[in-house]
Structures are given as structure tokens and as C-alpha cells.
């Protein structure tokens, strides 16, 4: 009888072993193994969409104060300059901004029209120079190429009628402007607005009460005489 009991125990253990193997196989098939671990790549830093995240508080205040600057600049004009300013039409009208303010990339003729108490009659118009609008990744850049003061910076969306300019200005013999925030006296902020077809302006607070308006018009070659091949 002993051999019968031993045989039964052997069969029972064999059955339990086979049952355990079967359950393991079922669980392995039902739950696939996770993929091998890989090194995670950090996402690139996001570009801020709000210019107020970039501008210093005092410069944000200059942007917010532009309506008052415009009013003071117009009120400070001498009688001999009022007609001259009016002759520029929408370019020097504070509320003339139109929708779609982004200027296309390319080369522009730009001239500075300066409202300042230290100028004759409170206003001075300068000769035209050259400005460039370009791409810098997801942002647009605007820079003045020549002249005694040459602002350069990036344009940030701000509603449907203006772009905010944040940058710095190179003066006189400086080869290039510093980065925004590196040199307080060079930091420059303003707004870009479209005032007519193919005409934009960069409006920059200047000093404690002044205002610079840079007119931007595309620099296109003059038309050739009829029948002339380019």
C-alpha cells in the first residue's frame, strides 16, 4: 500500500506543477512586457507668447504710456511745425493703426521723425536709411542698418493692430547693439503698427518725454522703362 500512496502523491505534485506553469503562461500572454526604458529628452524651452514676460516693468510702463506720449508730443508742437506734421497724414496720427501689423521680411527704407522738446518747434525729420525685417526662429526681427542710432530687436504679438518691439540701440561707432537687458541706457522698446498699404511705423519712447517714429516702406527697385529686360 505504501507504494500506492507514494505514487498518488507524486501524481498530485506533478499536476499542481503543470497547473502552475499554465497559469504563469496565461498571465505572461495577457500582460505584455513594458518597453525597455530609454533616456528621456528634455523638451526645448518654450518661447514666451506674452511680451510682458520679457520686458522689464519700467519698459512695459513705457509701452502702456504711449497714448500720453503721443498727446504730449502733439501738444508741444510749435506753430511752424503743426502743418509739417499734418502733411505726413496717418503716419503721425496716434490712432491710425490698422489690422495685420506684421511687416513682411525684407529690406525697407526707414526715416526717423522725432518729437522732442529740444528740437526746433518740437519736431525734426531726418533722412532715410535702411532697415531690415528678418526671421529668428519663431520670432521676427527688426533692425536699423545705418545712421547715428540703430535700434535692433524682436517683435512680439500684441493684439491685431500692433507688435511690441523689444531690443536695444547701438549709438555712433558701436558696431552692434547689446542684447536687451545688458546695458540699461541702450534698452529700447516700442510698437510696430501698419498705417497704410506698404507703410509701417516703429514708435519708440525717447528720453523722458520724446517720441521717435520710424517710417518703414519696402525698398523696391524703381521700374524699368517699357521694353527693357531686367
Q: What is the mean pLDDT of residues 211-226?
A: 86
CATH code of the domain occupying 56-218: 2.40.128
pLDDT at 220: 86
pLDDT band at residue 10 using 50, 70 and 90 as cut-offs = very low
Q: How far is CA 225 from CA 71, 108, 175, in A?
A: 45, 23, 39
Structural domain boundaries in the chain: 56-218
Burial, 197: exposed, middle or buried (Cβ in 10 Å; 0-12, 13-18, 19+)?
exposed
- Specify the pTM: 0.77
Other beta carbons within 10 Å of 206: 20
pLDDT at 13: 46
Per-residue pLDDT tens for 28-86?
A: 444 455 454 444 555 655 666 689 999 999 999 999 999 999 999 999 999 889 999 99
Amino acid at each position: 500500500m505504501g507504494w500506492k500512496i507514494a505514487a498518488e502523491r507524486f501524481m498530485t505534485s506533478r499536476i499542481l506543477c503543470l497547473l502552475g506553469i499554465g497559469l504563469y503562461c496565461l498571465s505572461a500572454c495577457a500582460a505584455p512586457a513594458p518597453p525597455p526604458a530609454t533616456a528621456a529628452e528634455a523638451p526645448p524651452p518654450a518661447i514666451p507668447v506674452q511680451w510682458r514676460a520679457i520686458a522689464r516693468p519700467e519698459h512695459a510702463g513705457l509701452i502702456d504710456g504711449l497714448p500720453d506720449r503721443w498727446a504730449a508730443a502733439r501738444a508741444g508742437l510749435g506753430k511752424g511745425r503743426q502743418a509739417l506734421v499734418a502733411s505726413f497724414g496717418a503716419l503721425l496720427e496716434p490712432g491710425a493703426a490698422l489690422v495685420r501689423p506684421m511687416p513682411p521680411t525684407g529690406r525697407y527704407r526707414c526715416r526717423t521723425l522725432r518729437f522732442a522738446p529740444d528740437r526746433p518747434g518740437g519736431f525734426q525729420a531726418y533722412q532715410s536709411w535702411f532697415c531690415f525685417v528678418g526671421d529668428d526662429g519663431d520670432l521676427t526681427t527688426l533692425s536699423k542698418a545705418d545712421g547715428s542710432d540703430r535700434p535692433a530687436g524682436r517683435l512680439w504679438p500684441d493684439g491685431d493692430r500692433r507688435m511690441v518691439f523689444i531690443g536695444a540701440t547701438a549709438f555712433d561707432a558701436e558696431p552692434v547693439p547689446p542684447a536687451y537687458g545688458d546695458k540699461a541706457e541702450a534698452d529700447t522698446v516700442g510698437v510696430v503698427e501698419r498705417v497704410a498699404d506698404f507703410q509701417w511705423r516703429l514708435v519708440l519712447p525717447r528720453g523722458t518725454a520724446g517720441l521717435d517714429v520710424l517710417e518703414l516702406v519696402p525698398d523696391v527697385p524703381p521700374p524699368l522703362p517699357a521694353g527693357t529686360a531686367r
